[in-house]
């Protein structure tokens, strides 16, 4: 079946001079179960991610979250998720971002008390979303919270040698230990003077620190944090606030997130997502992923060292190097 892309042109005026364009529809919530019974709004994002929201959340904010998720998954905005392995992982885990009216809402209680899956790693609240300032620190948390779930549910499981969250387990754990001035399983007081990542929230364990680290590196490389005011506000936690500083200060992490084999998003979301519908239809009709096999020809949805082959219904085969 062709990937589902629904085209509703939604425009949001921004300061009277610009507008966001989001080509998704908001549907009634179809997700069954008491955990999701507090949500009335639902957006399917490229068939592998979804947004659910309470009835009081403005449509503009719901669509904004959907657009940001789509831009992070489809960074070149051709209507196709950039990494088929991440797409499959998010589909299998039914990855989603919930939007609550406020902390402690009935919908939050229902989800937190009854959800048994592992498809979400972060949440959004109504007052954290500003479609006019996509990803801007202190104004719009959408990029941060959505990318946390995509990374945690997706990349840490699909590419464990690169992004596994345990100490001494991955390229990213090695990079973070350097960025923090050593390997610390609890918060050091103080951090070494050599550290440029010095998050001090005592409730955040090593794995939490890793997910936050991945976010900081990705958005710094995207340029989202690159202004003097933001740099000053975040300096107590994170220093290399733009791509130039990241490349020079955090050599290991910069190399990791820009390695093309992981297809991580490099361009900042702007809250606009509306690929050409005719192009999407043609691509998905003629070239649909139907099977993934490993180097020995076995069907697999798992990450294997070596090679994976994507087999499409038009007869073409593509090769992906998983570990080089």
Q: What count of other Cβ atoms lies within 10 Å of the Cβ of residue 219? A: 24
Helix then strand then coil, % of the chain, to nearest 5: 35, 15, 45
Cα(213)–Cα(142) distance, rounded to whole angstroms? 17
Report which of 268, 266, 248, 244 is spatially closest to residue 257, judged by C-alpha positions.
Answer: 266
Helix (H) or strand (E) holding 309: strand 307-312
Cα(138)–Cα(75) distance, rounded to whole angstroms? 23
Cα(36)–Cα(285) distance, rounded to whole angstroms? 33
Cα(97)–Cα(42) distance, rounded to whole angstroms? 10
Report which of 207, 206, 212, 180 is spatially closest to residue 193, judged by C-alpha positions.
Answer: 180
Supply the DSSP symbol for 260.
Answer: G
pLDDT reported for residue 139: 93
Cα(5)–Cα(49) distance, rounded to whole angstroms? 12
Q: Where are the alpha helices (DSSP H) in 115-265?
A: 142-149, 156-158, 160-163, 171-179, 206-222, 228-234, 243-249, 251-257
Residue 68 contacts residue 51 (beta carbons within 8 Å): no
Beta bridge partners, 42, equal 27, 52
pLDDT reported for residue 275: 86
pLDDT reported for residue 20: 82
Residue 80 contacts residue 3 (beta carbons within 8 Å): yes
Residue-wise pLDDT tens for the chain (324 aa)? 223 333 344 444 433 334 589 999 999 999 999 999 999 999 999 999 999 999 999 999 999 999 999 999 999 999 999 999 999 999 999 999 999 999 999 999 999 999 999 999 999 999 999 999 999 999 999 999 999 999 999 999 999 999 999 999 999 999 999 999 999 998 998 999 999 999 988 899 999 999 999 999 999 999 999 999 999 999 999 999 999 999 999 999 999 999 999 999 999 999 999 986 544 444 444 555 555 555 555 455 444 444 555 566 665 555 554 433
Beta bridge partners, 51, equal 43, 97
State both tokens at 261: 């084999």
Residue 12 Cα distances to 74, 135, 236, 269, angstroms:
21, 16, 35, 16
Helix (H) or strand (E) holding 114: helix 106-114
Cα(236)–Cα(256) distance, rounded to whole angstroms? 24
Helix (H) or strand (E) holding 6: none
Report which of 72, 11, 19, 322 is spatially closest to residue 219, judged by C-alpha positions.
Answer: 72
pLDDT reported for residue 284: 45
Q: How far is CA 63 from the centre of its chain?
A: 16
pLDDT reported for residue 281: 41
Tally: H helices and E strands in the chain: 12, 10
pLDDT reported for residue 202: 87
Residue with tokens 């994170």: 238
The per-residue DSSP string of 125-142 comes to EGGG--TTSTT-TTT--H
Q: Kindly report the pTM of this predicted structure.
A: 0.81
Domain extent listing, the chain: 1-134
């Amino acid at each position: 079946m062709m990937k589902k892309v629904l085209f509703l042109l939604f425009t949001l005026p921004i300061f009277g001079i610009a507008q966001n364009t989001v080509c998704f529809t908001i549907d009634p919530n179809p997700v069954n179960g008491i955990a999701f019974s507090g949500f009335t709004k639902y957006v399917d994002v490229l068939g592998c991610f979804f947004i659910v929201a309470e009835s009081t959340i403005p449509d503009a904010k719901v669509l904004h979250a959907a657009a940001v998720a789509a831009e992070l998954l489809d960074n070149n905005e051709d209507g196709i998720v950039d990494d088929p392995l991440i797409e499959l992982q998010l589909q299998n885990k039914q990855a989603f971002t919930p939007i609550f009216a406020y902390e402690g809402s009935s919908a939050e209680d229902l989800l937190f008390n009854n959800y048994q899956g592992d498809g979400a790693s972060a949440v959004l609240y109504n007052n954290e979303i500003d479609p006019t300032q996509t990803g801007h620190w202190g104004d719009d948390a959408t990029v941060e919270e959505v990318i946390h779930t995509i990374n945690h549910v997706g990349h840490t499981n699909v590419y464990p040698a690169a992004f596994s969250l345990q100490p001494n387990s991955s390229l990213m754990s090695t990079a973070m230990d350097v960025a923090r001035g050593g390997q610390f399983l609890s918060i050091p007081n103080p951090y070494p003077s050599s550290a440029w990542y010095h998050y001090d929230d005592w409730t955040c364990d090593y794995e939490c620190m890793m997910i936050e680290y991945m976010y900081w590196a990705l958005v710094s490389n995207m340029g989202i944090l690159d202004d003097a005011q933001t740099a000053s506000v975040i300096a107590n936690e994170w220093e290399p606030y733009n791509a130039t500083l990241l490349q020079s200060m955090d050599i290991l992490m910069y190399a990791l997130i820009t390695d093309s084999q992981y297809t991580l998003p490099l361009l900042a979301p702007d809250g606009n997502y509306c690929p050409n519908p005719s192009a999407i239809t043609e691509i998905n009709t003629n070239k649909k992923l139907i099977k993934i096999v490993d180097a020995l020809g076995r069907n697999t949805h798992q990450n294997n060292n070596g090679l994976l082959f994507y087999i499409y219904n038009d007869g073409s085969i593509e090769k992906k190097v998983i570990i080089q």
